Amino acid sequence: MTGPDYEFEKAALEGGAFFVAGVDEVGRGPLCGPVTAAAVILDPENIPDGLNDSKKMTAKKRDALFHVILSSAICCIAHASVEEIDEINILRASHLAMERAISRLSTKADHALIDGNMIPKGLTIPAQSIVKGDGRSVSIAAASIIAKVERDRIMGKLATEFPGYGWEKNAGYGTKQHLDALGRLGVTPHHRRSFKPIHNILYQGK
């Protein structure tokens, strides 16, 4: 199985696009914290080596590539907050984060490659959804790395304010340590109240 390549981008450029952004989000599954998206327009003459699905990399490799991507490509990171997740649901919030990342790029993209099987409704440019895109398109792979490193850092900072939940290791996912800590320490302002385990804790006995 080979890694991601530049074929989707090439096809879009041959179809008349000038700037193709790969887009991915991280953080749909965790019980707390924002959902984070990144949009990345790679320089076709300067594509970093080793781009792949961020989940297939060590933290050290992701961190190294994070800096290489930021210095060689046009990137934007955006978030949807816990409040927005609870208000409009996690799928819509993850799309909102993607829309924000695309719209705030310093160079306007005119085509987007979106990881997954859905195109966010609020997009104003042509887009293509690519299932498992972070393993197929180098631009989406780059976006997955940027979003993952950024969100992990956010959760690491929040872990120092709210110790005991293990967010520096579990990034807010519902691990045993996290669930045990919820039972002991309770729900924080950063927990997603619309997610079942949190909802159940808040409303048990009511």
67-72 CB contacts, 8 Å cutoff, 24+ apart:
69/40, 69/142, 69/145, 69/146, 70/146, 72/42, 72/43, 72/46, 72/47, 72/48
**Residue 206: pLDDT band by 50, 70, 90 thresholds?**
low
Return d(Cα 190, Cα 186) in angstroms, integer. Answer: 11
Residues 42-92 have pLDDT tens digits of 999 999 999 999 999 999 999 999 999 999 999 999 999 999 999 999 999
The pTM is what? 0.96
DSSP class of 3: -
Please identify which residue in the block is written with the tokens 């996690």. Answer: 90
Annotation: CATH topology of 7-161: Nucleotidyltransferase; domain 5 (3.30.420)
Predicted local distance difference test score (pLDDT) of residue 204: 78
